[in-house]
């Protein structure tokens, strides 16, 4: 059940990120100076940590979405759903290690 809840939360959070992303990118057409000012506000450690959270959410949502499709459309999916959950969590963890290192380096040392 927690994987279902987390899948819904990460999906909604990703949707809201995309909504804000489309809005701030649309500023380029309206007023490029305002766009530059908005983008400059994103260059701080808090937004860097939010970016790390975004990567974690999108990666989990994508991997779990594959698992959900396998459970729904593969005849043996329900039998192996728990194994697949632990597999996607392991893949998520392994992929998040270099992503975390890179994002934290860019956030705190890569200026």
Known binding site for heme: residues?
Answer: 61
Annotated binding site: 61
CA distance 62 to 43: 27
Q: What's the burial of 101, exposed, middle or buried (CB within 10 Å: 0-12/13-18/19+)?
A: exposed
Asked whether 7 and 64 are in contact (CB, 8 A), the reply is: yes
SS (H, E, C) 39-69: HHHCCCHHHHHHHHHHHHHHHHHHHHHHHHH
């Amino acid at each position: 059940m927690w994987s279902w809840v987390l899948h819904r939360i990460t999906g909604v959070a990703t949707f809201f990120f995309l909504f804000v992303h489309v809005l701030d990118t649309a500023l380029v057409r309206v007023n490029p100076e305002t766009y530059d000012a908005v983008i400059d506000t994103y260059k701080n450690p808090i937004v860097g940590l939010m970016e790390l959270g975004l990567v974690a959410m999108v990666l989990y949502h994508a991997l779990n979405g594959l698992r959900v499709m396998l459970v729904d459309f593969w005849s043996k999916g329900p039998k192996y759903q728990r194994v697949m959950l632990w597999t996607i969590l392991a893949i998520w963890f392994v992929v998040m290690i270099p992503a975390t290192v890179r994002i934290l380096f860019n956030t705190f040392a890569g200026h």
